[in-house]
Amino acid sequence: MEKVTNHGVPTMKITPIIPGQQDVSTVAKNSTATSGPSFQDILEQELAAAKSFSSSDIPAVSATAQIPAALRLDSLALAEDTISTLENFSAALGNSSFSAQDLEPFAAALEDETAALVSLKNQLPANNPLSALLERVATASYVEAAKLRRGDYHA
pLDDT along the chain (155 residues), means of 10: 60 69 54 68 78 56 68 94 95 88 92 95 90 94 93 77
Q: State which residues form the domain around 106.
A: 69-150
Report the share of the chain in percent with pLDDT over 70.
Answer: 71
Task: Assess if residue 141 is contained within a domain.
Answer: yes
Phi, psi of 18 (to 5 degrees): -90, 135
How high does pLDDT run on average in the chain?
A: 80
Examine residue 94 and state whether it is found in any structural domain, yes or no. yes
Domain assignment of residue 91, yes or no: yes
Give the Å distances, CA to CA, from 150 to 89, 103, 153. Answer: 16, 13, 8
Residue 148's alpha-carbon distances to 5, 87, 113, in angstroms, are 65, 15, 15
Total tally of structural domains belonging to the chain: 1
Whether residue 26 is contained in a domain is answered as no
Query: Measured between alpha carbons, how far is 19 from 125 in angstroms, rounded to an integer?
Result: 55
